[in-house]
């Protein structure tokens, strides 16, 4: 009887909780409550305090070692290799601080009055004139928005337009998994009449807005991943969304770049420029060119842009990292527009060979195949003594041959050597040296992807490992198998595949 009573009690308690609390999403309620409290605190705190918080948090993000910060330093280095290290550090720090500033503005702005916001965010003279024309003669318009620091203020432009009558405006955004966060973001961003369009299901609605002479805005400078097309940005291969070009081509819309220029703490000026472009390829290419020129010509724009974004992460799957993806691409179109015959080798691959390796001539065709498989990458071979001398006489094999200092001088000088090389921010490091010291050196080099052949011990500092069948030492066939495992196209290596000769 006691057992039955206890069972009834627990069933009743479960029913009570389900009946009275089951329909309430406590997590979402708590999230909205927390954001509301924080927003009120941020909005009413002294500006000097909030500015100091943003600078301090930005400093911690920038100078505390983490992957995102290294991504930022790598991106800045590859875009401006001629720039001094001090200036590159300044850009990284300012970018981090301004991204924190934008995040806090998103939380605080719903608690700011219309008058206060209108005093902080302005339209440029050019934008005012264009909006007057647009209100008098509406037409389909696609806006390409770059990820600058105060980009969130763009959602206010119907307010800034004053008494001008504007057609419907939709802005694409990335939906949140949290229902509470999703509801809060939509509510805060739609405060002034902007309609938020989910990337998941907003395509059809955006087309309707454009067909009714409305305006649709797209973030065009983020990594589009597998859905994007291969394109060039600062001469490096990246994946770019074609959504702006697709919408413009289907609806006959004009295309403009719309951006916020930071003018002070939580202050910006919204500006824009029409692009003389038509067709999907032309619009996608022109957007990248516009942003590249803006970042090259404006220090403020360099400070404002989100450098921590993995804009050039084209190979998240390491099994395909040693070849171009193929498929959707405007690379040929971009090369024609740039007047180039081949892709610039702006990405970097480092190949580390064991000390004393003597098979330089036998692996020369493999290294040549690697360069052909990644025509956008500069291949540097790290090796010692005689191997370095032999490969230096074969320019088709490597873009650079770097002679390693011998380990007999101790580990510290060698680690310093790799530490200096790390300032060139390599993308991929392929390590054929099977030693614990080589693993540590690869970690010191700091490539985003570090690939190796599995051995009897765990390769702790590697991000990708090839589990070779059988044992044996390092030979050309094993090297070829490893590179093929990570995606290399091995044209011209047929003889090596047939050979079983050891080096």
Same domain, 63 and 161: no
Helix (H/G/I), strand (E/B), else coil: 181: helix
In a domain, residue 265? The reply is yes
Task: Provide CB contacts within 8 A for 81, sequence distance 6+.
Answer: none
In a domain, residue 371? The reply is yes
Helix (H/G/I), strand (E/B), else coil: 277: coil
Q: In terms of residue numbers, what domain contains 80?
A: 32-108
CA dist 290 to 259, 279, 378, 391, Å?
Answer: 12, 16, 26, 41
In a domain, residue 3? The reply is no
Rounded Cα distance between 37 and 31, Å, is 10
CATH number at residue 461: 3.40.50.2000
Contact 223, 309 (CB under 8 A): yes
Adjacent-strand bridge partners of 271: 259
Nearest Cα to Cα of residue 502 among 482, 479, 484, 469: 479
Strands 215-219, 195-198: pairing kind = unpaired
Same domain, 467 and 455: yes
| Residue 148: predicted pLDDT | 94
**Alpha carbon of residue 251 to chain centroid:** 29
Contact 468, 483 (CB under 8 A): no
Task: Provide CB contacts within 8 A for 265, sequence distance 6+.
Answer: 47, 50, 51, 54, 101
Rg (CA), the chain: 27
Helix (H/G/I), strand (E/B), else coil: 380: strand
In a domain, residue 16? The reply is no
| Residue 17: predicted pLDDT | 46
CA dist 246 to 172, 229, 249, 250, 273, Å?
Answer: 14, 12, 5, 6, 19
Same domain, 51 and 171: no
Same domain, 232 and 293: yes
In a domain, residue 44? The reply is yes
Strands 254-264, 267-274: pairing kind = antiparallel
Contact 128, 277 (CB under 8 A): no
Same domain, 381 and 473: yes
In a domain, residue 158? The reply is yes
Token pair of 451 as six digits: 């690939």
Same domain, 120 and 261: yes
Task: Provide CB contacts within 8 A for 260, sequence distance 6+.
Answer: 121, 148, 149, 150, 151, 152, 153, 154, 268, 269, 270, 271
| Residue 198: predicted pLDDT | 83
Q: Can you give the pLDDT of all 503 residues of the chain as single tens digits?
A: 444 544 454 445 545 445 445 555 666 677 778 888 998 999 999 999 999 999 999 999 999 888 889 999 999 999 999 999 999 999 999 999 999 999 999 999 999 998 999 899 998 988 888 888 888 888 999 999 999 998 888 888 788 887 788 888 888 888 777 777 777 777 888 888 888 888 777 888 888 999 999 999 999 998 988 888 999 999 999 999 999 999 999 999 999 999 999 999 999 999 999 999 989 999 999 999 999 999 999 999 999 999 999 999 988 888 999 999 888 999 999 999 999 999 999 999 999 998 888 878 888 899 999 999 999 999 999 998 889 999 999 888 999 999 998 877 677 888 999 999 999 999 999 999 888 889 999 999 999 999 998 877 788 889 999 987 766 567 888 889 999 999 998 776 666 655 554 44
Same domain, 281 and 384: no
Q: Where are the alpha helices (DSSP H) in 191-242?
A: 203-211
Q: Where are the alpha helices (DSSP H) in 109-242?
A: 114-120, 125-136, 157-160, 179-189, 203-211
| End position of a domain, from candidates 274, 304, 334 | 304
Same domain, 125 and 66: no
Rounded Cα distance between 396 and 377, Å, is 13
Same domain, 89 and 114: no
Q: What are phi and psi of 128, to 5 degrees?
A: -60, -45
In a domain, residue 27? The reply is no
Q: What are phi and psi of 350, to 5 degrees?
A: -110, 130
Same domain, 445 and 420: yes
| Residue 267: predicted pLDDT | 94
Same domain, 97 and 119: no
Give the chain's domain count: 3
Contact 62, 303 (CB under 8 A): no
pTM of the model: 0.87
| End position of a domain, from candidates 108, 125, 157 | 108
Cα–Cα–Cα angle for 120, 270, 49, nearest 5°? Answer: 35
Q: Which residue has the tokens 């301090």?
A: 56
In a domain, residue 405? The reply is yes
Q: Which residue has the tokens 């203020």?
A: 153
| End position of a domain, from candidates 64, 80, 108 | 108
Same domain, 48 and 70: yes
């Amino acid at each position: 009887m006691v057992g039955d009573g206890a069972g009834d009690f627990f069933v009743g308690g479960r029913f009570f909780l389900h009946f009275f609390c089951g329909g309430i999403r406590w997590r979402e309620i708590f999230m909205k409550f927390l954001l509301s409290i924080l927003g009120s605190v941020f909005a009413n705190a002294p500006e000097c305090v909030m500015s100091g918080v943003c600078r301090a948090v930005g400093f911690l993000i920038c100078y505390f070692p983490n992957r995102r910060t290294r991504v930022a330093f790598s991106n800045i280095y590859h875009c401006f290799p001629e720039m001094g290290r001090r200036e590159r550090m300044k850009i990284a720090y300012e970018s981090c601080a301004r991204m924190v500033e934008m995040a806090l503005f998103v939380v605080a702005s719903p608690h700011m009055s219309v008058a206060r916001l209108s005093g902080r965010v302005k339209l440029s003279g050019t934008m005012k004139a264009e909006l007057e024309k647009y209100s008098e003669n509406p037409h389909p318009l696609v806006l390409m928005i770059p990820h600058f620091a105060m980009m969130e203020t763009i959602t206010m432009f119907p307010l800034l337009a004053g008494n001008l009558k504007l057609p419907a405006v939709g802005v694409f955004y990335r939906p949140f998994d949290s229902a509470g966060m999703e509801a809060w973001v939509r509510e805060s961003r739609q405060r002034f009449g902007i309609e938020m369009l989910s990337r998941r299901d907003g395509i059809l609605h955006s087309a309707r807005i454009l067909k009714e002479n409305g305006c649709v805005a797209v973030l065009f400078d983020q990594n589009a991943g597998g859905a994007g097309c291969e394109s060039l940005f600062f001469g490096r291969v990246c994946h770019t969304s074609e959504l702006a070009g697709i919408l413009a081509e289907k609806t006959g819309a004009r295309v403009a770049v719309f951006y916020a220029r930071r003018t002070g703490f939580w202050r910006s000026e919204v500006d824009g420029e029409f692009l003389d472009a038509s067709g999907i390829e032309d619009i996608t290419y022109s957007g990248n060119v516009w942003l590249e020129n803006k970042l090259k010509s404006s220090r403020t724009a360099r400070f404002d842009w989100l450098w921590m974004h993995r804009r050039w992460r084209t190979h998240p799957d390491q099994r395909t990292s040693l070849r171009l993806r193929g498929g959707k691409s405007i690379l040929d179109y971009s090369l024609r527009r740039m007047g180039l015959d081949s892709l610039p080798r702006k990405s970097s691959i480092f190949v580390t060979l064991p000390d004393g390796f003597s098979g330089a001539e036998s692996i020369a065709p493999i290294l040549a195949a690697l360069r052909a498989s990644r025509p956008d990458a500069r291949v540097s071979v790290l090796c010692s003594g005689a191997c370095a001398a032999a490969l230096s006489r074969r320019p088709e094999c490597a873009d650079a041959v770097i002679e390693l200092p011998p380990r007999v001088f101790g580990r510290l000088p060698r680690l310093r050597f790799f530490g200096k090389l790390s300032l060139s921010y390599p993308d991929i490091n392929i390590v054929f040296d099977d030693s614990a010291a080589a693993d540590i050196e690869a970690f010191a080099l700091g490539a985003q992807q570090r690939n190796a052949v599995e051995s009897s011990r765990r390769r702790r500092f590697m991000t990708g490992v090839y589990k070779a069948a059988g044992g044996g030492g390092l030979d050309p066939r094993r090297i070829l198998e490893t590179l093929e495992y990570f995606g290399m196209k091995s044209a011209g290596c047929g003889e090596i595949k047939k050979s079983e000769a050891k080096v």
